[in-house]
Amino acid sequence: MQAIVVRQFGGPEVLRLENVAAVTPGPGQVLVRVRAAGVNPVDTYIRTGTYPVKPALPYTPGLDLAGVVDAIGPEVATWKPGDRVYSDGIGPTSGGCAEFAVCAADRVHALPERVSFAQGAALGVPYATAWRALFTRAHAQAGDTILVHGASGGVGTAAVQIARAHGLHVIGTAGTPEGLALVREQGAHAALDHRDPGYLDEVKALTGGRGVDIVLEMLANVNLDRDLEAIAKGGRVMVVGNRGRVEIDPRKCMSRDGAILGMTLFNATPADLTRIHAGLRAGIENGALSPVIGRELPLAEAAEAHRLVMAPGARGKIVLLP
Ligand code: NAP
């Protein structure tokens, strides 16, 4: 079968398409014919070899996939060949950027007919992260106001859709006119340009001077200190993304009885994931959630996909098609 293989850590150029031995499912595993593999920023961090998750070389990257069950291993009663599935973002056993991938049977979920395989490959990391950040960690509730700080990408578009569907008042940011239009299309009540120097002042204006209950932050190293000015009393800054160090004035947090929270999807417990994917499936089935696919590239262009996912001008999700 064909698969992307990383033989040494490094830049996008280390991603090579190769013919590799077929993978087979063991006990409690399913073999999935991959129809789409989602590309996430974390795949690029892992590829550099400097991230806490460091796979043994050589490895096939890819945490998110959607496809069709091709075969089941021993002791699997929940799936049969032909079932449409997507992986939960914690990662298939053998890497999603391949024609076939082995997944633990309890790490895949039924993919509703109303979404495509490409959309299915956006559910694991981005949607589960957005859900866990909103509800498990930041305790979002209907009526809350949220700033999705970085709303045009995979996690941001998911967060806007999920928050809107749950009755939150949503302000989202993007850095391009296309991104701003996309954020509005996903249901945001207002969209602000994070390249515009005064944009955070508008958050105050949009909330009658009160500030937001939650900031969902995609780039904390740039924004964390200003986020603390954007929250209302009792507000939470939920750090989802960060790419460096930052200096903050803790007094801004103290004066608001505020909180800075962190999260990583890898900390989700099996019980968390069961709840999260039940919620996501309900939203997909009733049409409230519909992943945005900005780019589809052939599997051979994995290196280009890794470059694009780290470039400005996000438009939802980038997926690779084997
Ligand atoms: P993505 O699709 O590449 O989107 C990146 C987002 O960040 C875009 O909306 C981009 O907007 C925005 N952005 C760029 N500059 C910004 C700024 N100055 N202020 C605010 N936002 C800015 O990535 P993603 O998949 O949505 O992931 C977003 C971040 O969360 C990444 O850092 C990723 O590593 C992290 N993440 C963490 C977890 C976790 O478990 N904690 C899980 C998934 C992702 P424009 O391109 O429009 O400028």
Pocket test for ligand 1, best of 53, 152, 218 (most atoms within 8 A of CB): 218
Q: Can you give the pLDDT at residue 90?
A: 87
**Closest C-alpha to ligand 1, atom 39:** 264
CB-defined site of ligand 1, < 6 Å: 40-42, 125-126, 129, 149-156, 173-176, 179, 194, 218-219, 222-223, 240-241, 263-265, 309, 312-314
Residue 167 contacts residue 140 (beta carbons within 8 Å):
no
Q: Can you give the pLDDT at residue 302?
A: 98
Q: Which two tokens stand for residue 227?
A: 């986020």
User: Helices 302-309 and 41-48 sit at what angle, rounded to 10 degrees?
Assistant: 110
Q: What is the mean pLDDT of the chain?
A: 97
User: In this structure, what are the phi and psi dihedrals at residue 191, rounded to the nearest 5 degrees?
Assistant: -130, 135
Residue 134 contacts residue 159 (beta carbons within 8 Å):
yes
- Which atom belonging to ligand 1 lies closest to the Cα atom of 156? 26
pLDDT digits (tens, 9 = 90+) for 104-155: 999 999 999 999 999 999 999 999 999 999 999 999 999 999 999 999 999 9
d(CA 105, CA 79): 8
d(CA 291, CA 92): 20
Give the residue-averaged pLDDT of 164-189: 98
- Could you tell me the domains of the chain? 2-122+291-321 (3.90.180.10), 126-266 (3.40.50.720)
Residue with tokens 């069950």: 69
Q: Can you give the pLDDT at residue 267?
A: 96
Distance 84 CA to ligand 1 centre (A): 28
Distance 240 CA to ligand 1 centre (A): 8
Give the residue-averaged pLDDT of 32-61: 97
Residue 174 contacts residue 151 (beta carbons within 8 Å):
yes
**Structural element, H or E, at residue 108:** strand 108-110
Residue 38's DSSP bridge partners are 64, 319
Q: Can you give the pLDDT at residue 11?
A: 98
Q: Can you give the pLDDT at residue 296?
A: 98
- Which atom belonging to ligand 1 lies closest to the Cα atom of 265? 40
- Residue 288 pLDDT > 90, yes or no? yes
Residue 302 contacts residue 4 (beta carbons within 8 Å):
yes
Q: Which value, in Å, is the radius of gyration of the alpha carbons in the chain?
A: 20
d(CA 216, CA 155): 10
